[in-house]
Structure 1
């Protein structure tokens, strides 16, 4: 285990692939739309690689398996995707092992906790609520909460300003290149989880400060 440590007064944590394994229900919604269009369903590993840039991009990439869709085709698919996903938000999605105990401890230490995701707000808060995580967070920033989302640094700098902190007093925990790029651009340290959704990208290419295998492994790194 690394000897590196972080003086983080604020811990920002990604949602899909970091806190919650949402891939089964996202895949279910995307495949529902594909099948309604008479197309074959996409395999789970393929859909898993599409997660991280919001549901519209996920649906666009699922449609593009057969042929690159027009914006109008993506527009037409989204109401059905959103309705199905909203109705099956937690059918198969689960909190990753150790997440809740880590959040409890971070909360008890008095650190500001932020859930920072590219997921649309209409899904973020119900998901956190239904899976019992929402009360741990002092701030929730979804993909449509601000004009720009990760990998833009805006959500990170916004969260820091919200709590009157400089970005270097925060720490971002995530699973994808969107997270590490946003943190670097914001001047914030970043820890990557070894699980989650990063497509075919090797873990080393995320270039995080530290890699952890479970969220509780974050706790000894904080001072």
Structure 2
């Protein structure tokens, strides 16, 4: 295998965390005395970190692009409070994730999670789902000065793992991963089942779209499209 390190997104790539995120987001709305939103609506807010999620939640709720700064700060604190309680409670690992991680490990790859989720929520989620032992490194949304789609999180992971960008493979589910990987000059695979902020992943710049992490490991081994 030509890759020495595999850098994986978390929410929408490894784990379906929408039930826990939606619970926290609706907790914010309860605190604001506003009606709850369906999970599918909240799903469209996910992708660029919890601060942007809260911004999108407030803009949708009040149907306004303008945010009251004080209310925004209260809503951020409310989301952190509620998510600390719900994180990992109902999240599930996507099919074939464990098989794919094992395949990459067997091939001798270093593994890292690179997510826009704050690190204080990333580690407990991976711990709750017993995924932490797979990873040599965890990069959260507040680990570096910039979040994806900025390339800095992937560059940081490459440096920390001491693996050049040309030997890193990114696996994600959205434009954030695709753009950040290209900015870091890394190959990138996308899965079709995640949180893509309403953007068709077929339109994104990626080396391939694979149906699972297991198929990503096959692709990385064969460098060919996976159709089975």
Instruction: Give the TM-score normalised by structure 1.
Output: 0.94
Q: Counterpart in 1 of 2:224?
A: none
Any idea what SS the aligned residue of 1:122 has? helix
1:150-197 deviation digits (Å, cap 9, x = unpaired): 111111111112222221110100001000000111110100001000
Q: Deviations over 1:119-141 (max 9, x none)?
A: 01110000000101000000000
Asked if 2 retains the 8 angstrom alpha-carbon contact of 1:116 and 1:142, the reply is yes
Q: Does the aligned pair in 2 maintain the 1:7–1:169 contact within 8 Å?
A: yes
Q: Distance in 2 between matches of 1:28 and 1:101?
A: 29
State the match for 2:40 in structure 1. 45
**Per-residue deviation, 1:60:** 1.2
Match of 2:14 in 1: 19
Aligned partner of residue 103 in structure 2, secondary structure? helix
Q: CA deviation at 1:100?
A: 1.1
The answer as to whether partners of 1:42 and 1:62 remain within 8 angstroms in 2 is no
**How many equivalent pairs are there?**
218
Q: Deviations over 1:34-72 (max 9, x none)?
A: 122111112211110111111111111111111332232
Of 174, 178, 181 in structure 2, the residue corresponding to residue 180 of structure 1 is 178
Query: How far is the alpha carbon of 1:8 from its aligned partner?
Result: 1.1
**Would the aligned equivalents of 1:86 and 1:123 in 2 still touch at CA under 8 Å?**
yes
Per the TM alignment, residue 19 of structure 1 is displaced from its structure 2 partner at its CA by: 0.4
Alignment counterpart, residue 205 of structure 1, candidates 193, 203, 225? 203
Aligned residues: CA RMSD: 1.2
Among 120, 140, 147, the residue aligned to 1:122 = 120
**CA–CA distance in 2 between the matches of 1:216 and 1:54?**
26
Moved more, 100-109 or 170-179: 100-109
Q: Distance in 2 between matches of 1:159 and 1:90?
A: 24
Q: Would the aligned equivalents of 2:175 and 2:201 in 1 still touch at CA under 8 Å? A: no
1:147 aligned partner: 145
Could you state the TM-score of these two structures normalised by the residue count of structure 2? Answer: 0.92
After TM superposition, give the deviation of residue 13 of structure 1 in Å. Answer: 0.2
| Structure 1 residues without counterparts, runs of 5 or longer | 1-5
